[in-house]
Structure formats: structure tokens, C-alpha cells
Chains A and B, each alone.
Chain A
Amino acid sequence: MTNDHPAVRSKTNIPFYRDERILQIFAQVVSTVVIIGILIWAIINFFRAAEARNMTLTFGFLKDSAGFPISNPPIAYEPVMSTGRAFLVGLVNTLMVSGLGIVFAVILGTLIALARLSSNWLLSRIALIYIEFHRNIPLLVLLFIWYFVVFGMVPPVQESIIWPGPTFVNKRGVYLSWPRLTETGSIFMISIAIGLLLATIAYSMLRKRRKITGKETYYIPASLGLLIISFIVGWLLSGGTPFQIDSPYLDGFNYQGGLRLTPEFAGMFISLSMYTGAFIAEVIRGGIQAVDRGQIEAARAVGLSPLQVLSLVIMPQALRIIIPPMISQFLNLTKNSSLALAIGFQEVFSVGKIAINQAGRAVPVFAMIMITYLSLSLLTSFILNIYNRRIQFVLR
């Protein structure tokens, strides 16, 4: 009976080579085989070529002594140490410049975006010029401008510019006076850390209780009080001198002491933050402008203050739009840090390239470089995606 149904009958009568379902599976199988085949061919070809060229593909060279110097290593490094260690130094430099770069790019981007949205004509024009300038020149050019032009105009060591602090600026870098922990300083830091922990616990517990019981629990003053107490206790315990201001002084060729930003690091860091800051400003502006005007008008109508409108109505909605493109800006910044090669800041790519040359292991080193950037990018987007999901979820 059911077999007489026209649809079923026609289906059974179709030969397999015209049956859409079978054809689809067939296409899947064929494309899988082709892709895997190409991959296998590529890998085999790669190994054959490497063998023919006498290239070694092992990672043993990482244990050998590197032999090359690295300028201003952030962690202890000597040329006698291993190539692996040199790579690690590069990685720390990459993390440092991209981490700080991201923080400052966000701060700068937010300020510029606010200026761009400001009703002050001059302010918004200045922001516009800033954005257009940075978005329309290549980062490499910006790097050269900062490194070779700006730092090129700075006077030599003996004629350093002295800014209040004292801060010294010369061709060898920017030397800041910087508080350094004294011997008792660690007690102070531990005390602050405990205070911070207690304050966080108090904040969340008291806030939760207020939510449940509806009674005012003064959670903000309570947690702030805890912080202040820990600060005072730490200060007293450390004998009143947890810090000492370390000022740079001229000794021989260069200044010693203080906190030094080398021209390479400063050039890289400034260019990266300013360049990415311009893109972030546009992302933030776009996000804020995408919030429906009606929302703002309604918020004003119910009597919220301008600050409340911004923090309770505009930002929660704008963030949902801002975060996803922001992730890609962060990734861009991290990857762009590899341009540091051009101005002698030795991050992971530039150390890798030296290692290739000194150890002659192009393939393993490039594999390491790729995996490093890939892991950094995946880690960044993983963390931000969690955050993104949280704000999306809360709002829906």
C-alpha cells in the first residue's frame, strides 16, 4: 500500500548515481580523500625535500648554547645559555610589549572614542585627525617615525633632557625614577595582597546578602575600609619605608638605576598602542553609536543622570557590539608586534630569525614561531570569548 505512494516509489526507482543522498555522501568522501591525499602528499614532499637539502628537522639545537647576544633581556640571559632560553627571552619580550600595548591601546582608544563623540567641535576634529592619520599609514612607517625620527632627534646621553621626577630622556632611552621595594617591602606587598583578598570576599558576601535580604550592608565602604587597614598595617610593619625612590644617575657611558625604557621598546610600545588605539577608538565609537537613540531618550525621561545613562544603559548594550571586533584588534596587536624586527626590539620573531641563521634550522624554528603566535592568539580569544559570552548572557 505504502509502496504505491508516488513519492516513495519514485525514490526507490532512482538509480544510486542519481540519488541525491548517496551523491552527497559520495561527494563528502571524495573531497575528504582528496584533501587528506593532498596533505599527505605535501608532508611527504616536505620531508623528501628537506632530506634532499640536507636540512635537519630535530629540536635538539634548542639545548645548544645560543652564542648570540640579545639586547636588554627582560630575564637573565647570556650568550652561553641555550637557544631555547633565547627563544624564551623573545617570548617574554613579545608578551610584555603586546600585554602593555593592549592595555594602553584600550585606554587610548576609549579616550579618543569619547573625544570623537564629544559635542566639542575642536576635540572631535582632533580625534578624527588622529584616527584617520593612524588608520591610513602602515604600522611599519609609524615604527620608523617613532624610532628613527623621534628618537633620532633626542639628544645624546651627555645632553639628556631632564623632566621632573627626575626623568632623563636621551638617545639611549627614557630613564624614569621608580619606586623600588626595600628589604621590608615584601611585608607591605603581602599585607596589601591579603587586604585585597579579604576586601573581595567581603564585597561579594555582603553584596549577596543585600540582594537576598534587601538590607543595606554597606559593602563598598566595608571592602574599601579593609583595603585601607591593610595598607596602614603593611606600612607600619615595614617600618614606614616599603619603597625607595630609585633615581637614575650618570655613570660612564650611560645612566644607571631607575626604570629604563629602551628606544626599541618605547618605539615599539608607543607605535603599537597608538596604531591599534585608533582602530579601537572606531570600534568603541561604532558600538556606542549603535545603541538606539530611543534607549538614551527613555533613560533620560525616567530621570537617570548622564553618568547613569552611560553606565547603565549605553555601555552594557555597546559592549555587546564592541567586544567581538575588539578581540580581533587584540590579536592584530599581538601579531603586529613581530614588526619589531625592523627596529631592533628582540621579540620572539626576531630572536627566531637569528636562531635560524646561527643554528641553520629554518623549519623547526618557524614551526615554533607559528605555534607561539597561534597559542597566543587562541589564548587571547579564548579568554575574551568567555567574557563575551558572559556579557551576552547576562543581558538576554
Chain B
Amino acid sequence: MYRKYFPIIAMFMVLTIILTACGGTGTVETVIETVIVEVPAEGPPAKAEILDRVLERGKVVCGGRTDLAGFGMLDEAGNNTGFDIDFCRAVAAAVLGDPTAIEVVPLTAADRGPVLQTAEVDILSRNVTWTASRDSQWGNFTTVMFYDGQGFMIRKDSGITSTADFDGGTVCVTSGTTTEQNLSDFFRQNGMEYEAVIFEESAAVYSAYEEGRCDITTSDKSQLASVRSGFADPDAHFILDITISKEPLTPAVPHGDDTWFDIVKLVSYALINAEELGITSANVEAMKSSENINVLRLLGEEGDWGYTDLGLEPDALANAIAAVGNYGQIYDRYMGPVGISFTLPRGPNELWNNGGLIYAPPVK
């Protein structure tokens, strides 16, 4: 009898051990520590652990997506493109000198946190909202690349004209997102009832909405615009003119490697400053002989913007700009007036000196 159930009992014992240890009693750990004295201490990660592995691998592994037009998608040739992907390419161009040296790992909203926590990706650039709890748990958030806010999309013939008509509605939403929480807060604050239909795959969310399972779907407004452009009849749907949350979409890097964190931040500063200074992918070579001293500094022609300490080439940022263009160029490529994916006015994503929020520290 005992022998028959031994494997099960053993399994339970192992689980109990893990759980008691998880409970924070710490006794198991001390026991283990006394059993084996010499355990090679891992300690804090080496300073440039991620940069080293990127250089060794010759590739930047990027957590992204392939299902959101404008941000992360596949083009006709099957290449990863999009606003978020171009940022990865910029980093690859800066570090490795080659914008094609990236590997995109498609992630669902629910998977991206754990993947970043375990440092399976070098950068998470997958329209992630920067929140305080994610910053403390998931990894380091770099610079806000896209200021977004949550909105609602409805069918034009649904009879809904404002959020006041939402009571009792059915809402399709992606799980594991800030959207999901904002939605429940919004309905609670307004004292309205709703039925949530929750999927892990955002593709499932929008197909359920389009089929009529839900009256309303909700997400970041840029995402709704993107999804709407892919519907069979985009004009039958309508994005309400209300924003219920702040969604600063920000690339993030794993905890513990400051050098890598700095490099990724610097690349975003370079892209933003390039737009400010009028450097584009087309004129980057010509600008190397510019009169403007700030341009020369950014392009590595004068002074050290920090490349020696970070272990990069002087023209790393110039390479990044040459590869993907400045911030405005990337935006316009996908979401500008003649963007590949859809058209979305820049609004808060204008440069700071143009009435927007996009601002970066000087590169010098």
C-alpha cells in the first residue's frame, strides 16, 4: 500500500517543502545551507551581463508582437515591422551596427511580465504600459515612447452615443492588461454594471467583438485605431471621444544590468533629439559635418556622450538614426498621414517644443 503511493507522497513532500519555503519561514533554506556549505554565490548580475550576451550572440532578442498593425506586425515578406520593432532595430543598430540583427519573440499580454522578469528577452518593446508595480516587479522601464490612453470602441448601429449608455453592456477585453483593471474601475466609479468577456489573445478579443459577442471593446486608443483599420468594415465602428486612463507605452529591460538599461535609454534619447535637431535617416551622413555642435555631439563627431563607459562605438547613435530614422520618422512611417498601418494624429506624441510630451535629456 505504502509502496504503491510512494511517488505521490514523495511529490507532495517536495511540494510541501517548496511551499513552506515560499511561506517565508526560511527554515528550509537554512537547512539546505547547512547541508551544502559551498554553493557558488550568484550575487547581483554582472554589470554588463546583457550587453555581453548580446555582443556574443550578435543579436538583440526583443519581446514584441506580430498581431498589432502599426506597433508590431509582419509585412508581406514576413519581416517584423512596426513602431515597437523599429525601436529594437535602433538598439541593434547602435550596439551591433546592424538593424537586422534582432530576433522578435511574439508575446501575449499575459506572458510578457514573467518573460522580462526571467530576462529571457533583452528588451520588451510590446506597447507595455509603465506602472509602478510593473516597474518594481517586471524590470526597468526606459523612456516613454508613446503616450496613450484607454478608450472604447462601439458599433455605430448599437445606439450607444456616450459612456452613459454603457450600463448593462458586454465588454470584450484582453486579460493581463492595465486595460482590464481600468475597465473595472471605470464601471465601478460610475456605478454601472457590465459583463466582461476576457481572452488572453488580443486577436480573439477583437474577433469576438466584431462577431457581436460584445457591445463594447476597450483598449489603448492607438490599439483600437489599429484594430479598427483591420476590420472588414472599419466605418461601422466608432471610437468614443473619451480617454479613461494614462497609458505611457514604454520599452522595458530586465532588472539588474545598469549598462544595458543606460544604452537602451540613450537610444531613445537619440531618436527624440534627432527629430528635434532635424537629423533624419536620409541626412545623417551630411549632418556629420554640421555647424550645430549638439548635432556633432549626438553623432559622435565631437566629445564623448558616454560611449567609452558603455563600451560602444562613437557612431553608435548615428547608426541607430541611419537605420530607422528619428522619432518622427518612425511615427509617420506607421501612423502618420500616409502611414502604412493607419493614421493617428500625433497629439501628445508631438515633441515638447511643438506642444506635445515627447522630451529627452540632451545627448552630450
Contact = CB atoms under 8 A, between A and B. Distances in A.
Given A39-B14, A79-B188, A53 B198 contact: no
Interface stretch (B16-24, B85-93, B291-299, B313-321): B16-24
Given A254-B170, A354-B175, A354-B176, A52 B45 contact: yes
B39 A353 contact: no
B184 A69 contact: yes
A367 B239 CA distance: 41
A362 B137 CA distance: 11
B113 A53 contact: no
Interface stretch (A4-12, A272-280, A342-350): A342-350
Nearest to B14: A39
A248 interface: no
Contacts of B168: 251-254
B197 interface: yes
Contacts of A171: 211-213
B208 interface: yes
B184 A344 contact: no
Nearest to B114: A362
A367 B22 contact: yes
Contacts of B198: 69-71, 344, 346, 350, 354
Contact of A263 (B19, B21, B137, B213): B213
Interface stretch (A43-51, A121-129, A227-235, A290-298): A43-51
A67 B169 CA distance: 19
Contacts of A59: 22-23
Given A357-B110, A358-B176, A79 B181 contact: yes
B276 interface: no
A75 interface: no
A47 B256 contact: no
Contacts of A343: 199, 204
B138 interface: yes
A363 B114 CA distance: 10
Interface string A239-256: 000000000000111100
Most buried by B among A53, A152, A156, A252: A53
Contacts of B138: 360
B200 A69 contact: no
A342 B109 CA distance: 13
A342 B29 contact: no
Given A57-B21, A68-B184, A48 B39 contact: yes
B200 A341 contact: yes
Given A53-B119, A172-B213, A362-B114, A40 B200 contact: no
A311 B185 CA distance: 59
Interface residues of A, number: 59
A44 B28 CA distance: 10
Contacts of A49: 42
Interface string B180-218: 110111001000001111111100100110011101000
Contact of B22 (A78, A358, A363): A363
B42 A52 contact: yes
Contact of B113 (A41, A341, A356): A356
Nearest to A344: B199
A40 B15 contact: no
B63 to A, nearest CB: 14
Contact of A356 (B41, B110, B199): B110
B36 A44 contact: yes
Nearest to A252: B168
B228 to A, nearest CB: 19
B134 A360 contact: yes
Given A68-B184, A69-B196, A360-B113, A40 B32 contact: yes
A257 interface: no
A367 B32 contact: no
A357 B45 contact: no
Contacts of A51: 42
A44 B18 CA distance: 10
A22 interface: no
A29 interface: no
Contacts of A253: 168-170, 215
B353 interface: no
Contacts of A152: 211
Contacts of A190: none
Contacts of B29: 47
B36 A156 contact: no
A103 interface: no
B255 interface: yes
Contact of A58 (B22, B137, B199): B22
Contacts of A201: none
B44 interface: yes
A58 to B, nearest CB: 5
Nearest to A370: B15
A100 interface: no
A40 B114 contact: no
A72 B195 contact: yes
Contacts of B134: 360
Contacts of B15: 367, 370-371, 374
B185 to A, nearest CB: 8
A133 interface: no
A364 interface: yes
A58 B19 CA distance: 9
Contacts of B36: 40-41, 44
Contacts of B184: 67-69, 79
A120 B195 CA distance: 48
Interface in A141-157: 148, 151-152, 156
B167 interface: yes
A342 B204 CA distance: 8
Contacts of A47: 21, 29
A254 B176 CA distance: 27
B77 interface: no
B204 A52 contact: no
A360 B196 CA distance: 22
A43 B17 contact: yes
Contact of B175 (A41, A68, A151, A370): A68
A312 interface: no
A378 B113 CA distance: 32
A282 interface: no
Nearest to A73: B196
B259 interface: no
Most buried by A among B8, B133, B173, B204: B204
Interface of A: 39-41, 43-44, 46-49, 51-59, 67-72, 78-80, 148, 151-152, 156, 171-172, 251-254, 263-264, 341-344, 346, 350, 353-354, 356-358, 360, 362-364, 367, 370-371, 374, 378
* Pairs of residues from A and B, 5 with the lowest C-beta to C-beta distance, nearest first: A357-B176, A360-B137, A79-B184, A69-B196, A57-B22
7 contacts: A79-B185, A151-B213, A171-B213, A342-B199, A360-B113, A363-B22, A374-B11
